Homo-oligomer: A and B are copies of this chain.
């Protein structure tokens, strides 16, 4: 058993900055004290040891307090996306067996309307006869000034979003985050003066892992509720932010806004979606220290990370696995692929989840099949191509959309492209391509002629449509279902 990380840090570095929200800075001592108060209020409101406490909060102080309060209360947190539909949220609340739900003004109505009817607590001072605002509850904060952590105990459940399919609950232990924080520090470094800007939601692994590793390091988190490019640009220029985690669309917007790299920035951890090469080149040219990462909710965030020097040498690679994390790339028979050959990405290591909610737990030494496709190059660096579910099977042949996209992108007139499998009675799937043109005078036929010189016949796009823009998610991933629908119409 070890001491909860926040109380340990409150003793190791009490006056260090822990959490910055807007103009307010909380030291570790202050955050520690507020966590004790918050935990005591949840306990007084009926949260019992062993319970699953749902959290439906945006990136705000109380979300951080809930995370730090968990080991002091002895509860597991279920962190829910605040943008879920009522039906999605209800399904996740039921799956998590979550009978108490902490919400805020903006999520209150959704919480109260849930058919599963968890006990609802609100962190905002809302007058509603159905609930008591958390800050009007009084608890015994002295009883919650320290918690004991068993590294093997479950800490949080998070639901993987995915662009399709039913979300699954990922159960992560304290140990997974502890190992992840250490391996991350040993890869990208940590300095006592670090300040990490967190604009990714705390209910996503990218955001939560910033909060937890910074607590272990004794460094500061600058927490943002939403991505506001001009305001973040200003913050990066005016304050000593040394680290920021971004998804590609955010980086595009910051580059537009900020231009050259902010002076104090030591590293941009770029993840969430494969980073387009043009984005990397533009960012590196402007001096931004980009580290590309391949992360998974199931692995408590980073699996592999390439440092800026490596990104410069090999734009597109996500580098080598972190220390103590192992990656294999296998064929359909489960045998290792040779260097450079696409296959299924498998991950093993101390940061892995213990399993999906309601499914058989993973063995301690299990290889987790990520469902992602990629390859290891001769140096052992990982290249992630895409989700396995995006694989096109046409007439029995496996076709990797990324390979086709890469070939098409080499045509000078092609600005962007998405390749998907379009349903076909004859072939099962046919290769379809939605193309954004840089030069509208170039014909589809000219592009296909170019493609025929680079790709085998069975990989050639059969259904092509020129579009003004590709449909993408907020985090920059291509919405492949939407592309398929576009091409069904075209086909």
Interface residues of A (CB under 8 A from B): 2-3, 8-9, 11-14, 182, 185-192, 194, 216-218, 307, 320-324, 326, 350, 379-380
On whether the beta carbons of B11 and A380 are closer than 8 Å, the reply is yes
On whether the beta carbons of B186 and A307 are closer than 8 Å, the reply is no
Per the bound structure, the CA–CA distance linking A326 and B146 in Å amounts to 14
Assuming the contacts A14-B380, A182-B182, A185-B185, asked whether A323 and B9 have C-beta atoms less than 8 A apart, the reply is yes
CB distance from A14 to the nearest CB of B (A): 7
Out of B3, B11, B321, B324, name the residue touching A320 (CB < 8 Å).
B11
Out of B9, B192, B320, name the residue touching A13 (CB < 8 Å).
B320
On whether the beta carbons of A323 and B8 are closer than 8 Å, the reply is yes
Assuming the contacts A9-B323, A12-B321, A324-B3, asked whether A192 and B182 have C-beta atoms less than 8 A apart, the reply is no
On whether the beta carbons of A191 and B191 are closer than 8 Å, the reply is yes
Per the bound structure, the CA–CA distance linking A39 and B190 in Å amounts to 33
Closest B residue to A213 using CB positions: B186
Assuming the contacts A320-B11, A324-B3, asked whether A192 and B185 have C-beta atoms less than 8 A apart, the reply is no
Q: Which residues of B contact A192 (CB under 8 A)?
A: 187-189, 307
On whether the beta carbons of A323 and B12 are closer than 8 Å, the reply is yes
Closest B residue to A193 using CB positions: B189
Closest B residue to A365 using CB positions: B1
Per the bound structure, the CA–CA distance linking A298 and B11 in Å amounts to 22
Q: Which residues of B contact A350 (CB under 8 A)?
A: 2
On whether the beta carbons of B185 and A186 are closer than 8 Å, the reply is yes
Closest B residue to A327 using CB positions: B11
On whether the beta carbons of B189 and A323 are closer than 8 Å, the reply is no
Q: Which residues of B contact A323 (CB under 8 A)?
A: 8-9, 12-13, 216, 218
Per the bound structure, the CA–CA distance linking A194 and B323 in Å amounts to 17
Of the A-B pairs whose beta carbons lie under 8 Å apart in the complex, a sample of 13, sorted by A's number, is A2-B350, A3-B324, A11-B320, A14-B379, A14-B380, A182-B182, A182-B185, A185-B185, A185-B186, A187-B192, A188-B192, A189-B190, A189-B194
Q: Which residues of B contact A188 (CB under 8 A)?
A: 192
Q: Which residues of B contact A8 (CB under 8 A)?
A: 323-324
Q: Which residues of B contact A185 (CB under 8 A)?
A: 182, 185-186, 190
Q: Which residues of B contact A218 (CB under 8 A)?
A: 186-187, 323
Per the bound structure, the CA–CA distance linking A23 and B426 in Å amounts to 67
On whether the beta carbons of B11 and A321 are closer than 8 Å, the reply is yes
Per the bound structure, the CA–CA distance linking A188 and B321 in Å amounts to 25
